[in-house]
Amino acid sequence: MARLSIALLGPLRLQLDGRPITGFESDKVRALFAYLVLESDHPTLRQSLASLLWPERPERLARHDLSQALYNLRSTLDDQDRAPPFIIATRQTVQFN
């Protein structure tokens, strides 16, 4: 089982099995990750995440941006084939596992 180490105070720092994790494409992806970690006790609606992170964008575009951010997050965490995954995403919700 993979060991993910997370430091949220100060700049976001992650290590996966002792190796630093980098490669987040934007501050929004880092903010998404931090939010999901802090709210990991329950799933969050995608619509809520899109509105929170992209309030100035029309809903359709904000949801697209959220999908792109989730793709970058899962790729950076090498989460696509991990069992169990760190990110649990359904069509309606997203949750940090």
Q: pLDDT tens for residues 10-52?
A: 889 999 999 999 889 999 999 999 999 999 999 999 999 999 9
Radius of gyration, CA atoms only, the chain:
13
Q: pLDDT tens for residues 46-72?
A: 999 999 999 999 999 999 999 999 999
Classified as helix, coil or strand, 60 is helix
Say what the pTM is. 0.92
| Residue 52 structure tokens | 């929170």
